[in-house]
Chain A
């Protein structure tokens, strides 16, 4: 099983450029999410989705867009890259989510993004 696959692994952007970070899972998971990990800040939730066609904002959504047209894919779009978006981005998924579900979260290996 591939699990959660993120592409690309590394990316360098200039300020103002846009790009899409790809995330795909092959486990038929309903819940998918994007986190960024920064030194001293820990992991922070950007956006999440509880199913195809449903997305919501997390803790730090500004500057990012998401959509969920299929169960498998959950791309993250940077609209106009800024140096403050330099970070490691992780996609994570879970079978289901919510009060009555206790499914572990599965992470991809991350995309290391540098904005100059």
Chain B
């Protein structure tokens, strides 16, 4: 069974600092990996999708890397802003379902 881990569960950073969020997974035979953002009381919004053949994906201030051999992905958010405060979840796809991590709850302090 695919296990997806995100540590730490919660973190706070001052505004302007770069955010680094880590995701690890136990089975490297994945098709893709997605990073999501969830705001309180809302659904999940897809931020980035990295295909298994890719090493990284970028969108604006967000950059996600993927290292299948070590079972790791990292989400970088440059120059964090208070609006980046949210829970960030990663999910790996090995077929007709995604396996989700439990998320990193991020607070950006003004």
Q: Which residues A4-33 have CB closer than 8 A to chain B? A: 4, 33
A-B contact count (CB 8 A): 56
A77 interface contact, C-beta 8 A: no
Q: Determine if B42 and A110 form an interchain contact, defined as CB atoms under 8 angstroms apart.
A: yes
With A48-B96, A99-B31, A102-B49 in contact, is A107–B43 under 8 Å at CB?
A: yes
State how many angstroms separate the Cβ of A102 from the closest Cβ of chain B. 5
Contact flag A59-B97 (CB < 8 Å), given A43-B89, A105-B34? yes
How far, in Å, is B64 (CB) from chain A's closest CB?
12
Q: Among B44, B49, B102, point to the contact of A90 (Cβ < 8 A).
A: B44
Chain B nearest CB, measured from A23 CB (Å): 11
B residues 8-44 with Cβ under 8 Å of A?
31-32, 34, 36, 41-44
Q: Is the CB of A107 within 8 A of B44?
A: yes
Q: Which residues of B contact A59 (CB under 8 A)?
A: 97
Q: Could you tell me if B34 and A56 are in contact, using CB atoms closer than 8 angstroms? A: no
Q: Which residues of B contact A109 (CB under 8 A)?
A: 41-43
Is A53 in the interface zone, CB < 8 Å from B?
no
SS class, residues of chain B in contact with chain A: strand
Assembled-state Cα–Cα distance A103/B42 (Å): 21
Contact of A107 among B31, B45, B97 (CB under 8 A): B45
B88 adjacent to chain A (CB < 8 Å): no
Is A104 in contact with B100, judged by CB distance below 8 angstroms?
A: no
A43 touching B46 in the complex, CB below 8 Å, given contacts A102-B31, A102-B32:
no
CA distance A52 to B97 in the complex (A): 17
CB distance from A106 to the nearest CB of B (A): 7
In the complex, A109→B40 CA distance in Å?
A: 10
| Contact in complex: A42, B96 (CB < 8 Å) | no
Chain B min CB distance to A32 (Å)? 12
B residues contacting A by CB (< 8 A) are: 31-32, 34, 36, 41-46, 49, 51, 89, 91, 95-98, 100-103
**A-B complex: 7 closest residue pairs judged by Cβ atoms:** A107-B43, A104-B46, A43-B100, A107-B44, A42-B102, A109-B43, A45-B97
